[in-house]
Amino acid sequence: MATDVNVNGDDVRLPDGATVLTLLDQLDLPRTGVAVAVDGVVHPQSRWAQELGPCERIEILTAVQGG
């Protein structure tokens, strides 16, 4: 069974047992230079391999250089 969540405003279907790492891979996003918040709580990289619990909203922010 899959779970539907909202990621940065888009609906995304995640497989059962998905982790932040699963999500980043599914979205073809890098594992460095990003921050991830689940339902408003930032998840440090040390927790990215843990299974995501029930959640509604995931925000992924990428670092940007500029001047």
| Mean pLDDT of the region 9-18 | 92
Is beta strand 57-62 parallel, antiparallel or unpaired with respect to 2-7? Answer: parallel
57, pLDDT greater than 70: yes
Please state the rounded mean pLDDT for residues 25-45. 95
Q: Which domains does the chain have, with CATH numbers?
A: 1-60 (3.10.20.30)
Q: In the predicted model, what is the mean pLDDT of residues 33-57?
A: 93
Which pLDDT value is given to residue 3?
84
Whole-angstrom Cα Rg for the chain? 12
Is pTM, for the whole model, over 0.85? yes
Rounded to whole angstroms, the Cα distance separating 9 from 44 reads 21
Candidates 65, 46, 64; CA nearest to 19 is 46
- Please tell me whether residue 46 adopts helix, strand or coil conformation: helix
